[in-house]
């Protein structure tokens, strides 16, 4: 069995998920997954997301008493620094107006490592979800090169940020911008990101949600799986993340086949080493 641990799962405490911890535990037992990281979203530094994270921490901490295979993590998303600053001042996103600028907004995460650790969080998945470039802030795909450039910018930042343990779902795009042919991503960008991940001693994630997205082509799946395999062969430790929200391990058998087809085998996927947890 190739997949034996899962470091990216969303529980019902996440704003966009409905999975109960018991459901995750039962399905993991059926499929042979032995370690489970709950990484509910912390997209913004407002009261709603902070409250959700506190609920996640309380829920996982209680469940761990009988299920030590559960570990508390978090998923961090880069947000625009001006919006972060506005929320810090006003405690809400309501009323925020993006400033007019010719340059992309600087990225920021919602909390510091110290603040996250104080809540019981032991590691973070860092992942890009949307544009912080003012020129494509509404998600326009009219200029695919601009979108690729913006994702590259954010991902390089993520790869270098010391809060990130696992570099989450490389090149995920909610609008399926390159999900027909992964080769539109320049190899030079992939290698820049790979070297940044390696230099900063991050793990990189093989994400089920990307590989099994209904909008992906078979061509893309093969290309993307080969990309993840190349990172592994470069010496970058690869973790598995189902990125489950409403059903757990629903693509388990499909993923086992995709991974085997590009050369993955038992023992290739990493668990987070004890030294890499925050405490």
State pLDDT tens for residues 48-60: 999 999 999 999 9
Confidence band of 139 (pLDDT split at 50, 70, 90): very low
- Topology of 5-276 in CATH? TIM Barrel (3.20.20)
Confidence band of 133 (pLDDT split at 50, 70, 90): confident
Query: Across the chain, where does the E strand assignment appear?
Result: 5-9, 35-38, 41-42, 70-76, 79-80, 107-108, 123-126, 166-167, 203-207, 238-241
Please compute the mean of the pLDDT values over residues 83-102 and round it to a whole number.
94
Please compute the mean of the pLDDT values over residues 172-183 and round it to a whole number.
95
Confidence band of 101 (pLDDT split at 50, 70, 90): confident
Q: Indicate the range of 77-81, 142-146, 162-166, 226-230 predicted with least confidence.
A: 142-146
Q: Indicate the range of 68-77, 93-102, 227-236, 256-265 predicted with least confidence.
A: 93-102
pTM for this prediction:
0.96
- Cβ contact 4:36 at 8 Å: no
Residue 5 has pLDDT above 60, yes or no: yes
In three-state secondary structure terms, 55 is: helix
> Across all residues in the chain, what is the average pLDDT?
95
CA–CA separation, 135 and 182 (whole Å): 23
More confident residue, 249 or 205: 205
| Per-residue model confidence (pLDDT) at position 18 | 98
Q: Which residue, 131, 128, 230, 214, is CA-closest to 179?
A: 214
CA–CA separation, 234 and 215 (whole Å): 29
More confident residue, 220 or 139: 220
CA–CA separation, 146 and 13 (whole Å): 34
Please compute the mean of the pLDDT values over residues 84-93 and round it to a whole number.
97
| Per-residue model confidence (pLDDT) at position 209 | 97
Please compute the mean of the pLDDT values over residues 256-279 and round it to a whole number.
98
| Per-residue model confidence (pLDDT) at position 143 | 81
């Amino acid at each position: 069995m190739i997949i034996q641990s899962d470091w990216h799962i969303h529980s019902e405490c996440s704003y966009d998920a409905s999975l109960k911890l018991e459901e995750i535990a039962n399905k993991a037992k059926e499929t042979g997954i032995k370690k489970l990281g709950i990484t509910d979203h912390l997209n913004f530094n407002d009261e709603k997301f902070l409250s959700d994270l506190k609920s996640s921490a309380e829920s996982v901490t209680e469940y761990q008493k009988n299920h030590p295979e559960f570990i508390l993590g978090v998923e961090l998303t880069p947000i625009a620094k001006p919006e972060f600053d506005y929320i810090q001042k006003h405690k809400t996103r309501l009323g925020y107006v993006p400033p007019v600028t010719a340059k992309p907004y600087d990225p920021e995460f919602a909390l510091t490592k110290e603040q996250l650790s104080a809540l019981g969080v032991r590691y973070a998945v860092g992942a890009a979800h949307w544009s912080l470039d003012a020129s494509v802030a509404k998600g326009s795909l009219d200029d695919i090169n601009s979108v690729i450039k913006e994702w590259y910018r954010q991902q390089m930042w993520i790869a270098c940020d010391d809060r990130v343990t696992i570099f989450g779902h490389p090149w995920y795009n909610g609008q399926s911008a390159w999900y027909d042919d992964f080769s539109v991503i320049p190899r030079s960008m992939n290698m820049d990101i790979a070297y940044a991940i390696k230099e900063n001693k991050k793990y990189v994630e093989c994400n089920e949600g990307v590989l099994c997205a209904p909008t992906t082509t078979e061509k893309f799946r093969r290309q993307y799986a080969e990309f993840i395999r190349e990172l592994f062969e470069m010496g970058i430790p690869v973790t598995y993340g189902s990125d489950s929200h409403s059903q757990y391990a629903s693509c388990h058998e499909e993923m086992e086949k995709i991974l085997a087809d590009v050369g993955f085998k038992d023992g290739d996927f990493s668990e987070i080493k004890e030294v890499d947890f925050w405490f």
